[in-house]
Amino acid sequence: MSFRTLALLTVLALPTIAQAAERECAQSPGKVIEVCVFTRDGQALYAVSKGGKPVLAAAPMGLTFAGEAQARYTGITAAKRSASDTTWEQPWGEQRLIRDNHSELTVSLAGDTPLNRSVDVVFRLFDDGLGFRYAYAAIPADQAVAVTDDRTEFKPVGAYDAWWYEALGQERDEYLYKQTDAHRITLAETPLTLRQNNGRETGGLHLSIHEAALVDFPSMLLAGDGAGTYKARLMPWADGTLARKTGAFATPWRTVLIGDSAGALADSRIELNLNEPSKIADTSWIKPGKYVGIWWEMHLQKSTWGSGPIHGATTQNTKRYIDFAAKYGFDGVLVEGWNRGWDGDWIANGDKFSFTEAYPDFDIKAITDYGKAKGVKLIGHNETAGAVPNYEAQLEDAMKLYESVGVSQVKTGYVRHSGTILDQDGQPQWFAGQYMVRHNLHVAEVAARHHISIDAHEPVKDTGLRRTWPNMLSREGARGQEFNAWGDPTNPPEHTVILPFTRMLAGPMDFTPGIMDVVHGKTELTRRGQSTIAVQLALYVVLYSPIHMAADLPENYEARPDAFQFIRDVPTDWETSKTLQGQVGDYIVVARQPRGGKDWFLGALTDEQPRKLNQKLDFLATGKRYEAQIYRDGPWADFRTNPGALTVEKKIVTAKDSLDLDMAAGGGAAVRFKILD
Ligand code: NOJ
Ligand code: CA
């Protein structure tokens, strides 16, 4: 039976419409999570519990529109229930088959303003969390409306720690996380991860508040009131309105993952399940893979994006990278600085970028022909410097050109201080307000028509849209490896044990791992990579992305064949993934099985503390023997004093064994379990 047939057979129940009560409750399929909705003193409220214990206290819902007062909700007029248990297949992903087992409750609220006279709130309840969205179905098709407030609040019950950074800072989402009492949150980006204060010792609750299916709506931030309530704050247009809509619409889903461990958050698939199925019928041209690029050498200032004596993107240099990629089995070569517009202050002059005209020393045709003969693709690069109208004007021509020469992946970029992108009317735009949410999707749609996938840097945060547009392969949206070239400061070891439980809950990240020479000639710790070399290998497994870069210079890989072997072997597309151990900001162990394969890969990381973890291998197939190819921190390894020490060893293991993961300060481990019989 195909999974599709299975999906059809397992739809459990048809919707039932009940007489509306004053209070409507619904439970997740396994009766783990419960939501109750009611109105009180003119507010529409929802409250959430897990296993009978309150998790989110009653908190307001609904939107306010321009020209109307804040609505008073007077009651529930209808409630509709349904349940569904299906399994669907990802074209690529961290897990091939995804089960979507949820119950749904739709409550219709009556309000006392014209636009809020009738609003539906749709809840989807899973055993590991929930999502809810507002549907304003009664707005006439041609009526333009402006949202001026999202009243949604989240009120976690009890004391929580939070991992967060101040939202709307000039570097967008490229900040280090801080851990504080959640009450100290002022304005946080999502996903926002919270852990009950005693969580560490008792396995208390872990929450992640975020959103799913962010389409044609501004991105949601969370404003703390100092007393444990977090209110939705949407990135506004220049005139202060939040969202501009015409006719009936539904908001993105507001989501809350609720788990007993950090790993439960990481292994939740709610984010994907709340997005629509693929709008791209034939996805066979969308390919995960590994790439190298003319990139790190610019960040190390060995070559330049702009033209001149050390221009990086030359035909000759690109052929050198293509040779390297072909020799070691990489799928693509990213080339930055190939197009006109980089000379001078390119951030200030983004409107000068051409996306079709190459510098004279970069011969696209010769390069792509050379690549084709060697089985290596050129990966395009479109740095816009946030000059969006300039990019949109050239988008169609650019994608057409790239398709014609066989480019099937483009990295985009929006380097510009948050809030200073200018639209076609010269109005300032936030990097993830409704304008940029529209733009990011527009780029993906135009690209899809030309069979091109997108890897967006300085992007709108991920909300699971890869399900609907699988050519949205990966994105940045956090501090990546590039900070380890620049310094001031570089990413401390705990950064990569925070990311899996925060930013990565949104979706894949193009972190660009694999730096072999983490010190790159620097003496100060905060100006070079703060990890051991084993960490750089483990990141390929720990941080999920369908495309991963081997970011270092070719000569640095050839100098470390011991470590490089793991990067050559590790795939980027998985049958299944499991977070085996983890504490936010302390450590993590992840295992993934290659899609269609029998091997397993494991990645483990610690923070600045050396750490010994024992890991049971019961995820391996029972009764099979595996060769464990272990890449671990070598003798006296330490991210401060001896980052390059690596021990590679092999041993035979079975599912009955366990493995000691002995990690140095700022260290980690990477393992390939190669099946033997
Ligand atoms: C920032 C991106 O994150 C980086 O990867 C890129 O090299 C530069 N912008 C230049 O486009
Ligand atoms: Ca960046």
pLDDT at 19 over 80: no
Q: Which residue has the tokens 């739809």?
A: 11
Nearest to 475 by CA among 451, 504, 450: 504
Nearest to 255 by CA among 272, 267, 240: 272
CA of 222 to the centre of ligand 1 (A): 28
Q: What is the dotted CATH code of the domain comprising 289-572?
A: 3.20.20.70
Which secondary-structure segment (H or E) carries 7?
helix 3-9
Q: What is the DSSP string of 321-338?
A: HHHHHHHHT-SEEEE-S-
| Confidence at 21, pLDDT banded by 50, 70, 90 | confident
Query: Which of 175, 415, 458, 491 has the most ligand 1 atoms within 8 A of CB, as the residue to mutate?
Result: 415
Nearest to 413 by CA among 462, 467, 379, 454: 454
pLDDT at 325 over 80: yes
Q: State pLDDT tens for residues 84-140.
A: 999 999 999 999 999 999 999 999 999 999 999 999 999 999 999 999 999 999 999
Closest Cα to atom 11 of ligand 1: 383
Token digits of residue 462:
């991920």
Closest Cα to atom 7 of ligand 1: 295
d(CA 285, CA 402): 14
pLDDT at 476 over 50: yes
Q: State pLDDT tens for residues 361-390.
A: 999 999 999 999 999 999 999 999 999 999
Q: What angle do CA 642, 643, 646 make, to 5 degrees?
A: 100
pLDDT at 202 over 90: no
d(CA 117, CA 168): 34
d(CA 433, CA 440): 11
Q: Give the E-state strand segments of 287-330 in sequence order.
A: 289-294
Q: What angle do CA 211, 214, 218 make, to 5 degrees?
A: 95
pLDDT at position 488? 86
pLDDT at 600 over 80: yes
Instruction: Locate the ligand 1 atom nearest the alpha carbon of residue 298 and give its number.
Output: 7
d(CA 195, CA 197): 6
pLDDT at 179 over 80: yes
For residue 605, the cross-strand partners are 588, 668
State the chain's mean pLDDT as an integer: 96
Q: Mean of the pLDDT values across residues 513-532?
A: 98
pLDDT at position 199? 62
Q: Which residue has the tokens 């980690």?
A: 668
Nearest to 38 by CA among 54, 13, 21, 52: 21
Query: Which of 296, 301, 336, 549 has the most ligand 1 atoms within 8 A of CB, as the residue to mutate?
Result: 336
Query: Which of 296, 338, 476, 482 has the most ligand 1 atoms within 8 A of CB, as the residue to mutate?
Result: 482
CA of 176 to the centre of ligand 1 (A): 18
Token digits of residue 352:
């000068």
| Confidence at 620, pLDDT banded by 50, 70, 90 | very high
Report how far apart the first and last C-alpha atoms of the chain are (Å, whole number).
Answer: 28
SS3 labels along 161-204: EEEECECCCCCCCCCCCEEEEHHHCCEECCCEEEEECCHHHHCC
- Percentage of the residues of the chain whose pLDDT score is greater than 70: 96
Q: Mean of the pLDDT values across residues 295-300?
A: 98
Instruction: Locate the ligand 1 atom nearest the alpha carbon of residue 299 and give its number.
Output: 7
Token digits of residue 36:
């109750």
pTM of the model: 0.96
Nearest to 531 by CA among 649, 669, 650, 662: 669
d(CA 652, CA 287): 33
Q: Residue 411: nearest ligand to its CA?
A: 1
CA of 413 to the centre of ligand 1 (A): 6
Q: Residue 512: nearest ligand to its CA?
A: 1
pLDDT at 16 over 60: no
Q: Which residues contact 358 (CB under 8 A, 6 or more apart)?
A: 338, 339, 340, 364
Q: Mean of the pLDDT values across residues 605-623?
A: 98
d(CA 585, CA 607): 7
Q: Which amino acid is at 103?
A: S
pLDDT at position 104? 98
CA of 462 to the centre of ligand 2 (A): 15
Nearest to 409 by CA among 419, 424, 399: 399
Q: CA 650, 651, 657, 659: dihedral to nearest 10 degrees? A: -30
d(CA 70, CA 62): 9
Instruction: Locate the ligand 1 atom nearest the alpha carbon of residue 295 and give its number.
Output: 7
Which secondary-structure segment (H or E) carries 9?
helix 3-9
Nearest to 432 by CA among 174, 246, 67: 174
CA of 457 to the centre of ligand 1 (A): 7
Catalytic (active-site) positions: 482
- How buried is 19 (Cβ within 10 angstroms: 0-12 exposed, 13-18 middle, 19+ buried)? exposed
Quickly list H helices, 387-482: 388-404, 434-449
CA of 256 to the centre of ligand 2 (A): 27
- Give how far Cα 156 sits from Cα of 189, 194, 224, 231, 322, Å: 17, 9, 12, 12, 52
- Domain boundaries, given as residue ranges, for the chain: 5-273, 289-572
Which secondary-structure segment (H or E) carries 557?
helix 554-558
Quickly list H helices, 505-551: 533-542
Q: State pLDDT tens for residues 650-670.
A: 999 999 999 999 999 999 999
In CATH, what class is 5-273?
Answer: mainly beta
Nearest to 565 by CA among 650, 657, 470: 650
Q: What angle do CA 294, 350, 400 make, to 5 degrees?
A: 65
CA of 438 to the centre of ligand 1 (A): 22
Q: State pLDDT tens for residues 415-425.
A: 999 999 999 99
Q: Give the E-state strand segments of 344-431 in sequence order.
A: 377-383, 409-413, 421-422, 428-429
Instruction: Locate the ligand 1 atom nearest the alpha carbon of residue 458 and give its number.
Output: 3
Which residues does a 6 A CB cutoff place in the pocket of ligand 1?
A: 295, 336, 383, 413, 415, 457, 476, 482
Q: Residue 171: nearest ligand to its CA?
A: 2
Closest Cα to atom 10 of ligand 1: 383
Q: Residue 383: nearest ligand to its CA?
A: 1
Instruction: Locate the ligand 1 atom nearest the alpha carbon of residue 305 and give its number.
Output: 10
Beta sheet of 33-40, edge-to-edge order: 23-27, 33-40, 43-50, 53-60
- Percentage of the residues of the chain whose pLDDT score is greater than 90: 95
Closest Cα to atom 3 of ligand 1: 457
pLDDT at position 197? 84
